[in-house]
Amino acid sequence: MDNGNAPQSLLFRTPPGFFRERIAPLFPQVDFKNLRPTDLVRILIQAVWLAVFRINPPPPRPHVHMRWWRQRITRWGRQVMRLVPQRWRHRVTPSRIRRHLEHLAKHDVWANRPMGVATYLLTVGILVITIITPFSLLSQLIFMALLWFIALSVRRIPGNLATMILIVLSAIASGRYLWWRINYTLNWDDLLDLTLGFVLLSAELFAWLVLMLGYFQSARPLRRQPASLPADPSQWPSVDIFIPTYNEPLDVVKPTVHAALAMDWPEDKLNVYLLDDGRRPEFRQFAQEAGVRYMIRPDNSHAKAGNLNHALARTGGEFVAIFDCDHIPTRSFLQVNMGWFLRDPKLALMQTPHHFFSPDPFERNLGNFGAVPNENELFYGLVQDGNDLWNATFFCGSCAVLRRKPLEEIGGIAVETVTEDAHTALRMHRLGYNSAYLKIPQAAGLATESFSAHVGQRIRWARGMIQIFRLDNPLLGKGLSLPQRLCYGNAMLHFLSGIPRLVFLAAPLAFLLLHSYIIYAPAVLILLYVAPHILHSSIANSRIQGKYRYSFWAEIYETALAWYIARPTTTALFNPHKGSFNVTAKGGLVPEEHFDWSISKPFLILVVLNLLGVLFGLWRLVDGPDHEVNTVLINLGWASYNLLILGAALAVAVEARQVRQAHRVEFDMPAALLMPDGRYLKAETRDFSLGGMSIHCKEHDNLEAGMPLQVSLRVGARSYAFPATIARRDGGLLGVKFQELTPRQEAELVQCTFGRADAWIGWAAKRPLDRPLASLREVMAKGLTGYQRLLHFAFPHHAQPLIGHARGLLGYLASFLPRQPAIP
């Protein structure tokens, strides 16, 4: 009989002193009082090494069970060694095996090409067998529990090998789900079920294809570093800088021109051209005053691409650097990027990130600027770096350097599509030229100012990529390697996600409203196959994308754009010549907060339909048959999740007030305050803009609002002073506003701020990595915020009680989820 003190595990049936003195020292890195899954894996690996390779041998008198297992595993190892030919046995020794295992753990598994190919073939074979093998209900549960245990065990282990394991686990779970869906879940006896089931299955197959291509594209980013230039600047090549503009305000263009002139490059090898398709006299006058060359053309054919080609035919630099007129380069841009061109004569393109110092509509309207990676960050932080591994970097139209010779060989910038940049890179790749990507922000610009402008920009990108797919399909034709074709293909598939996203948003309504079984299977089986597919893909993507895209935020970005990219992409598939280039508005203001009812119509329709589905589902729970309860609950959960995502999309449609003409950029750098009485006060900036600064000064006792002063900033060994006035004071924190600056002072201010070589280095270093549950909590909160704002603008006098109840309910539910740590 158990007396209450009997040991609960085999380990502790030995005396405590024996365990503490003999067993625990074998595993010095394991905390036996707080065991984690990773500790269990570590113990297992160490135990195998103890038994087979006799590394760190156990004490002379081990426990009888450990001795039995050691003898058994050693015998198995000797039997395996007998299978090895005699002439190879001297190579297969425990020490050599241990060295190879340690090498694999520390290095990339693909560094050795034969081993990489063999690993790939073996993995594919195992994957196929694992995916198509049918399991019973219990076997599926045990198998997925094993995969889940392995995923939790390796997800925190650093290195590329753990990432590859998570990808394989995700491929297994997703593959088994889709194999099961295709073979067992379509109701062939009901036309409505079959039709809607095929629609959902097609959307799922599309999502799976994009998922797998995404793993291929971004699992192993290259992380290229700058290449050095010759010590003698006379050996550096000549560079023409093109700054195209059409209808942007002069205040937006000025900083870009000033920063381009201040680049660290020999003056006789640098030519800056302002390409004005607006043909404005004030731009001509500014170009003359700034010392740059002003260029216009007789017409605006082919928009930006035509503007660049016109300049290309009338200039002669060996290289061409292109900047959108709002993208302000740093002084080090050319020195950082040009080294690779001298190292590789076949290099035709060097692309750098598009960094934005102003919030995009998602960041501004959701209030998470700097706290959550923005929509662009995944592409410029990870995807382009992954493309670089396969020599498939895309030209993005700005912040890039191109070699003139290959550009002229392809006939200049492509004009057949509205995404001339990506098409130009594709043509150069077809001719065998190389591309490169440096993930070092060396320029920064303005994000779109409103959600409607953002949608318009994405429509153009989507239409253009599908035009390329139809007119110059990267999957066909000569000149591209298979990885290049896959990278280009995945980029184009991304813009076809509008219709699949709408299918997922409407799918639960098939059962809730129409009582159609689009997944014709018991609810328990659905959970056993769907849950591992979703969980493993979430874990793998969180591991790969954690710095650049938080979990569940892609749902918001894609939902907000799905309706608007679905139509132009479908049109471009059938009529690729339809559509024209549209310029993205920059530098605008939003005088008052308002709800954009026009652009939110698709979201409102989907919200109403999902609400109806939830109401019908609750009715089915009350009056429906008992055997459908689990199915109703699954679809209710799906529809509720869709409502949260749609709520976040509605929140984006509420345009936040934006009245600041010059955006502030957080940046700490030394400064000094020169007072009218001759005093010199040391200070430090907290943020800056072209209109003023926030400055912290310890000696602030005699400083008052309205007091004139000069702000002194240093670049290298030179100091510059700018007249300003104290606009406000909060203790030692001063808000200063620059007075009327001369053109020369404006140029010097750009050099001291936006043009600094370190202006954008480490801008997101303090942001924490992704935590999926905490991210889910944030997304839920944004969903509630969307409905709160909708009620506020729809019923301004009656919304508060409803908002209060909804807040309380969601706050209670969200309390069970962890929070994302704040940026320190």
Which active-site residues does the annotation give?
277, 421
Secondary structure element (H or E) that encloses residue 462, with its range: helix 451-471
The Cβ-side half-sphere exposure at 163, using a 13 Å CA radius, reads: 20
Distance separating the N- and C-terminal Cα atoms of the chain: 56
Residues paired with residue 728 on neighbouring β-strands, in sequence order: 735
Q: Which one, of 553, 578, 425, 533, lies nearest residue 487 by Cα?
A: 425
Distance, CA of 531 to CA of 533 (rounded, Å) = 5
Distance, CA of 628 to CA of 558 (rounded, Å) = 32
CB 252 within 8 A of CB 285: no
Secondary structure element (H or E) that encloses residue 709, with its range: strand 708-715
351: three-class secondary structure by DSSP: strand
Residues paired with residue 730 on neighbouring β-strands, in sequence order: 733
| CA-to-CA separations, 350 to 221, 270, 592, in angstroms, rounded | 16, 17, 41
Q: Which two tokens stand for residue 503?
A: 């299918």
Q: Which two tokens stand for residue 263?
A: 């680049």
Contacts of 306 (CB under 8 A, 6+ apart): 297, 300, 415
Distance, CA of 354 to CA of 322 (rounded, Å) = 12
Contacts of 580 (CB under 8 A, 6+ apart): 303, 418
CB 521 within 8 A of CB 184: yes
The count of other CB atoms within 10 Å of the CB of residue 20 is 12
Helix/strand number for the chain, H first, E second? 29, 19
CB 347 within 8 A of CB 436: yes
Q: Please give the single-letter amino acid code of residue 38.
A: T
CA 664, chain centre distance (Å): 24
The count of other CB atoms within 10 Å of the CB of residue 140 is 17
322: three-class secondary structure by DSSP: strand
Q: Please give the single-letter amino acid code of residue 93.
A: T
Handedness of CA 214, 220, 226, 228 (dihedral sign): negative
